[in-house]
Structure formats: structure tokens, C-alpha cells
Amino acid sequence: MKNRYYVQPLTDQIFLIRERTSMSGEPGPNDPIVRSFSVRHDAYMYAGKINNEGLEANPVIEKKRS
């Protein structure tokens, strides 16, 4: 799944990294929290990094889903 991990701003100073788990691929209230950050930039950098690592780890699976 592309962009499996996403950033959810909770407040102006708290940003959550969540993992999409719904079958539709949309963000949901039951998505597990992976990590939290107090700096917006750091949260987006982390989410981008783990999304890219996931694609590199399973490139065949990701291509089949597309």
C-alpha cells in the first residue's frame, strides 16, 4: 500500500504517525499510532522514510497491489 504511514496533526504541537489498516486505504479512527512528534517537519520526514523503506523491502508485493 502506497503511503501506508501518515501524519495526523493532533494539536499545533503534537503530530502522530499512524498506520493505515482499513481495507479501503483511507485513514480511520482505529489506525494504530506508530510514533508521535512535537515537530511537524520531523513527523513528515519520518513518515516519508518508513513509507519508502516499506516499498524497497517488498517491491514485488507493492507493484502487484498497484
Cβ–Cβ under 8 Å, residues 20 and 2: no
C-alpha–C-alpha distance, residues 40 and 59, integer Å? 28
The parent domain of residue 9 ranges over: 5-65
Amino acid at position 32, single letter: P
Question: What's the number of domains the chain is made of?
Answer: 1
Burial class (CB in 10 A: 0-12, 13-18, 19+), 50: middle
pTM: 0.75
Grid cell for residue 50: 518508513
Tell me the sheet residues that pair with 21.
Answer: none
pLDDT of 9-51, one tens digit each? 999 999 999 999 887 888 888 999 999 999 999 999 999 999 9
